[in-house]
A and B are shown apart, each in its own frame.
Chain A
């Protein structure tokens, strides 16, 4: 079995006495994976990350990092192998990018000036390295925060909502960067996000959390297959009632809740052509056919009551 870089067992935590914010959470991040930690706002993602890093004191349960229990004794040794970006990046606004990185580098052992320039290059901030951080845009700050977490070439990078505040180009760059890190250096990456599309595009593994409980945890591949082979397809046509009769002949049932689209279930993509042909034969205009994202639906069904 794969070595687990992060493992939590029966983790419990609450900010107040009345509510459990993290309940019996069992997280397993395999070595070399890109683990997507997915959940709606306020589901306990950041709290879990803070518990893993030891910023919050767990009330019960276990946290193991790099196969060692994370305790006061192993704390420094474990943290030495981790680079973390937790929510808003911690940056000193009155200092420039290089000064910020120098301070972060001083706290760790043996990080050279070249490495500082290197990480600035990686996050594409070399042009703004002498600019005070308070004049940075949100996206630039986010990138500099990432640079700080990459400084020590860590074995595990923890990123809490890394694409927050980034523009579409920045998001794509961040995605590529994460994949590169993982492929070239074998860095294990733990990303939290509330966006399924984000996780789906980058991650190898996924954990879905709601109200502090782990609902699902497996590879992204397994998640995609778990919904079965059936696909949901949306159709937009001109003659709604006629189309329904045609579909009934094909034994297709409309499952849509709106009047704008007809929603049907198909076994495979070839079946879509059959449906279109049948509709066109009756002179029904087909304006749009789209395959619904199973994952999106699965995520919603998992995270909504």
Chain B
């Protein structure tokens, strides 16, 4: 087998392992969580939410939901889903089996990491689809909300989600390594939670641009003053990708050297 087939085999296998796991359901539940709250909010309080004449109600509707999700829900989801996906292997004591198979170790590590990143992309996609669907549902029930007369600003909204996605990759690299290394699920979870909270406290500081757990907040409110014109790759995105590559590489080198017990 070539390197590419090793990698694709490993990645496909990782997806098969996700069948019927809690990680799979967590992805759907997390993506549904805020849209459901907004569904109820717009159904109950619709009288206060009727937009002024000529204003697109979608902008407020979607940006508010993204803002609600970004500080805590998104990073917590990342920490949880990464731990859960790697935990499938620890729970079945699968690492000793995998590392004794005629496949390169890197294909196991990066195949699983790919599965984690894809799950996160799926979560973002579902989140967007659910937000738009909820908008149309409430729009059809209460026509005065004007959701049906306007269309969502797809391009700008996707850009905002994309910035958030790139900004969390730095955390993914680190959390994945921690989860892979430790059989105990609580340790990466605890470390992740503490660092997320730290991120929420420090994100306003100038130095937060070096702290990956603050990037998701920063992806919404860039501190390098490009507020008005949202670009696809702000500074934090570049740093986040850098951290992702760095942690993935260190993680792999560490796992490769490690004794599997």
Contact = CB atoms under 8 A, between A and B. Distances in A.
A and B: partners? yes
A148 to B, nearest CB: 8
A76 interface: yes
Nearest to A105: B13
Given A56-B260, A103-B13, A106-B9, A91 B102 contact: no
Chain A contact surface mostly: loop
B4 to A, nearest CB: 14
A94 interface: yes
Nearest to A107: B101
A84 interface: yes
B103 interface: yes
B92 A90 contact: yes
A54 B259 CA distance: 9
Contacts, number: 80
Contact of B1 (A54, A82, A109, A148): A109
A53 interface: yes
Given A50-B260, A90-B93, A90-B97, A107 B20 contact: no
User: Interface size bucket, B side?
Assistant: 20 to 34
A82 B20 contact: no
A14 to B, nearest CB: 11
A55 B9 contact: no
A50 B100 CA distance: 9
Contact of B257 (A57, A84, A87): A57
A80 B97 CA distance: 13
A54 B9 CA distance: 22
Interface in B1-22: 1, 9-10, 12-13, 16-17, 19-21
Interface string A90-113: 111111000100110011110000
Contacts of B19: 94-95, 99
Given A94-B20, A99-B16, A107-B9, A79 B102 contact: yes
Given A92-B88, A92-B92, A94-B21, A107 B16 contact: no
B17 A92 contact: yes
Contacts of A91: 92
B47 interface: no
Contacts of A79: 100-102
Interface in B203-238: none
A76 B88 contact: no
A103 B259 contact: no
Contacts of A102: 16
B100 A82 contact: yes
A92 B19 CA distance: 11
A77 interface: yes
A108 B1 CA distance: 9
A86 interface: yes
B94 interface: yes
A53 B257 CA distance: 14
Given A50-B260, A79-B102, A88 B93 contact: yes
A191 B168 CA distance: 47
B94 A92 contact: yes
B51 interface: no
A57 B259 contact: yes
A108 B98 CA distance: 11
Contacts of A93: 91-92
B101 A108 contact: yes
Nearest to A57: B259
Interface string B75-103: 00000000000001001111111111111
Interface string B246-261: 0000000000010111
- Find the residue from B12, B19, B101, B257 having the highest chain A CB count within 10 A: B101
Given A76-B104, A90-B95, A91-B92, 19 more contacts: A50-B261, A53-B99, A54-B100, A56-B260, A56-B261, A80-B102, A84-B100, A89-B97, A92-B17, A94-B19, A95-B16, A99-B19, A102-B16, A103-B13, A103-B16, A106-B13, A107-B9, A107-B10, A107-B13
28 contacts: A50-B259, A50-B260, A54-B99, A55-B99, A55-B259, A55-B260, A56-B259, A56-B260, A76-B102, A76-B103, A76-B104, A79-B102, A86-B100, A87-B93, A87-B96, A88-B93, A90-B93, A90-B97, A92-B94, A93-B91, A94-B19, A94-B20, A94-B21, A99-B19, A106-B13, A106-B16, A108-B101, A109-B1
Nearest first, the 7 closest Cβ-Cβ pairs linking A and B are A90-B97, A80-B102, A79-B102, A55-B260, A90-B94, A53-B100, A56-B259
Interface of A: 50, 53-57, 76-77, 79-80, 82, 84, 86-95, 99, 102-103, 106-109, 148
